[in-house]
Chains A and B, each alone.
Chain A
Amino acid sequence: DIQMTQSPSSLSASVGDRVTITCRASQSISIYLNWYQQKPGKAPNLLIYAASSLQSGVPSRFSGSGSGTDFTLTISSLQPEDFASYYCQQSNTTPFTFGPGTKVDIK
């Protein structure tokens, strides 16, 4: 199985900050990497697919990049509604493993 890691596991940031989350795969997954946001008590919400494509309806302050084994999710200017957990997921091969998540909270 492909293992996914994320860093950091948590971070504290202020509104307006630029935030970057890193995801690494244990082997090359080309661009088959998705990012999800999850707020407490809610289902995950797809933000980015195929490493860098913005899902319809997602604000443009979210962006993704990377290929192979190393990927990043960037929030260009953190908004109050962005405080949540973020998960990467590889969709290269089954099982479609998730990263352990990154919790973004208010500084």
Chain B
Amino acid sequence: QVQLVQSGSDLKKPGASVKLSCKASGYTFTSYAMSWVRQAPGQGLEWMGWINTNTGNPTFAQGFTGRFVFSLDTSVSTAYLQISSLKAEDTAVYYCARAYYSGSGSYFMFDYWGQGTLVTVSS
């Protein structure tokens, strides 16, 4: 069965960096892009962007450029999100989600999600 298992919660000081992981199993990792979604406390969902797991090419939404890096280790079917120069407003739960593409219908959907990683940024 498809599973996305994310790394555990993290507490960081402002200005530090954090690297989150999302390990996939139950499917061919390079057959689906991986998206990242942020949810600040009590707020809605924000699509941060995604990474093509074949080419490693990332796409970032506005507001997630510069300090955010998506990367892969295809040998262990794992996607990573690194955030540098952390700010208090980066405090959020970060989800990875598999992006399923239906070629016949030309649509995307996020059909499997990780359990989320809470990142808390506080001095």
A interface list, Cβ under 8 A from B: 1, 31-32, 34, 36, 38, 42-46, 49-50, 55, 87, 89, 91, 94-101
Assess the B107–A43 pair: CB atoms within 8 A: no
B interface list, Cβ under 8 A from A: 35, 37, 44-47, 49-50, 59, 61-62, 95, 97, 102, 105, 107-111, 113-116
6 contacts between A and B (CB under 8 A): A44-B37, A55-B109, A91-B109, A94-B59, A94-B61, A99-B44
Closest chain-A Cβ to B116's Cβ sits at a distance in Å of 6
Closest chain-A Cβ to B8's Cβ sits at a distance in Å of 15
**A interface: dominant SS:** loop
The verdict on A34 contacting B110 (CB below 8 Å), with A43-B116, A44-B95 known, is yes
The interface residues of chain B lying within 8 Å CB-to-CB of A99 are 44
Assess the B45–A98 pair: CB atoms within 8 A: yes
Closest chain-B Cβ to A99's Cβ sits at a distance in Å of 8
Summed over the interface, the residue pairs from A and B with CB atoms below 8 Å come to a total of 63
The interface residues of chain A lying within 8 Å CB-to-CB of B102 are 50
Assess the B113–A45 pair: CB atoms within 8 A: yes
Assess the A50–B47 pair: CB atoms within 8 A: no
Distance between Cα atoms of A55 and B47 in the complex (Å): 21
The interface residues of chain B lying within 8 Å CB-to-CB of A44 are 37, 45, 95, 97, 110, 113
Assess the B45–A87 pair: CB atoms within 8 A: yes
Residue of B nearest to A98 (CB): B45
The interface residues of chain A lying within 8 Å CB-to-CB of B61 are 1, 94-95
Closest chain-B Cβ to A8's Cβ sits at a distance in Å of 14
Residue of B nearest to A1 (CB): B62
The interface residues of chain A lying within 8 Å CB-to-CB of B44 are 87, 98-101
The interface residues of chain A lying within 8 Å CB-to-CB of B110 are 34, 36, 44, 46, 89
Choose among B35, B46, B114 the residue that contacts A43 (Cβ–Cβ < 8 A): B114
Distance between Cα atoms of A101 and B97 in the complex (Å): 18
The interface residues of chain B lying within 8 Å CB-to-CB of A31 are 107
